[in-house]
């Protein structure tokens, strides 16, 4: 696999062996402690502010910008780090265009964050799950920024997971309990994400059935849509 994946699509917080550098300082995405917090009702509003800022900084090339991950799901326990997804037509072009404006906003690109986990049972070319990843810590709203190709399977999976969870609040309770148990039992985020990935894979099997039954798709739901 070319490039070590940074995390699962759903909750991308896996630490890298070596973090990126900004102004000569290492960005602390390496060896983060596993801290799963109770739901914060301000997450949605804070994400909205950040998304508006990103729209202004990234321009029309950002086809859509979505709040994804656990902080986008009401009543979900999560790390206090926002996950934002930017959909683009070309990753190489996006990397070249976005490095400077994102650096101005305090984000540093993680060079090894170039691919997402491919769910078990999928026979996709791993290249279809490519991405670019920027992180911000300690200089404004802590956030992970995932740039994915519009129409790609990893862009779709992040949105499907979020929307299925929003439509099934009892599953949110169970998934939160799993996350807290894993955080208490596992020593680091690498192991935490490795164990959590197969659980997400199981959720996606059911979520795909829901999508087929309800007609859900990324093309029918605008950025920011909730069930």
On whether the CB atoms of residues 147 and 131 are closer than 8 A, the answer is: yes
Q: Name the token pair of 75.
A: 């009543």
Of the listed ranges 135-139, 151-155, 169-173, the one predicted with least confidence: 135-139
Residues 6+ apart with CB under 8 A from 207: 160, 161, 164
Instruction: Specify if 13 maps to a domain.
Output: no
pLDDT digits (tens, 9 = 90+) for 36-91: 999 999 999 999 999 999 999 999 999 999 999 999 999 999 999 999 999 999 99
Q: Choose between 65 and 9: higher pLDDT.
A: 65
Q: Which structural domain, as residue segments, surrounds residue 31?
A: 21-214
Mapped to the 3 state alphabet, what secondary structure does the chain carry? CCCCCCCCCCCCCCCCCCCCEECCEECCCCCCCCCCECCCCCHHHHHHHHHHHHHHHHHHHCCEEEEECHHHCCCCCECCCEEEEEEECCHHHHHHHHHHHHHHCCCEECCCCCECCCCCCCCCCHHHHECEEEEECCCCCCEEEEEEECCCHHHHHHHHHHHHHHHCHHHHHHHHHHHHHHHHHCCCHHHHHHHHHHHHHHHHHHHHHHHHHHCCCCCCCCCCCCC
Instruction: Specify if 5 maps to a domain.
Output: no
CA distance 68 to 96: 24
Instruction: Specify if 182 maps to a domain.
Output: yes
Instruction: Specify if 163 maps to a domain.
Output: yes
Nearest Cα to 39, choosing from 175, 141, 214?
A: 175
Instruction: Specify if 4 maps to a domain.
Output: no
> Mean per-residue pLDDT for 102-120?
94
pTM of the predicted model as reported, rounded to 2 decimal places: 0.84
pLDDT digits (tens, 9 = 90+) for 159-207: 999 999 999 999 999 999 999 999 999 878 788 888 999 999 999 999 9
Residue 14 pLDDT grade (very low, low, confident, very high; cuts 50, 70, 90): very low
CATH of the domain at 207: 3.30.460.10
Instruction: Specify if 7 maps to a domain.
Output: no
Query: Considering the chain, what percentage of its residues have pLDDT values greater than 90?
Result: 73
Instruction: Specify if 225 maps to a domain.
Output: no
Number of domains the chain contains: 1
Instruction: Specify if 27 maps to a domain.
Output: yes
Check residue 190 and give its pLDDT: 80
């Amino acid at each position: 696999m070319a490039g070590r994946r940074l995390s699962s699509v759903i909750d991308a917080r896996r630490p890298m062996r070596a973090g990126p550098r900004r102004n000569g300082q290492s960005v602390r995405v390496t060896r983060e402690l596993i801290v799963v917090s109770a739901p914060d009702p301000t997450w949605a509003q804070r994400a909205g502010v950040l998304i508006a800022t990103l729209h202004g900084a990234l321009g029309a090339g950002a086809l859509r910008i979505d709040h994804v991950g656990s902080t986008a799901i009401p009543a979900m326990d999560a790390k206090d780090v926002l996950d934002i997804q930017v959909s683009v037509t070309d990753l190489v072009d996006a990397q070249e265009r976005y490095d400077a404006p994102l650096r101005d906003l305090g984000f540093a690109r993680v060079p090894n964050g170039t691919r997402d986990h491919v769910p078990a049972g999928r026979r996709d070319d791993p290249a279809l799950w490519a991405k670019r990843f920027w992180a911000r810590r300690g200089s404004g709203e802590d956030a992970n920024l995932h740039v994915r190709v519009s129409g790609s399977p990893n862009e779709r999976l992040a949105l499907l997971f979020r929307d299925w969870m929003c439509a099934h609040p009892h599953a949110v309770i169970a998934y939160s309990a799993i996350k807290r148990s894993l955080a208490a039992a596992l020593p680091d985020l690498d192991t935490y994400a490795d164990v959590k990935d197969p659980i997400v894979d199981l959720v996606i099997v059911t979520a795909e059935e829901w999508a087929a039954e309800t007609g859900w798709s990324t093309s029918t739901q605008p950025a920011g849509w909730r069930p």
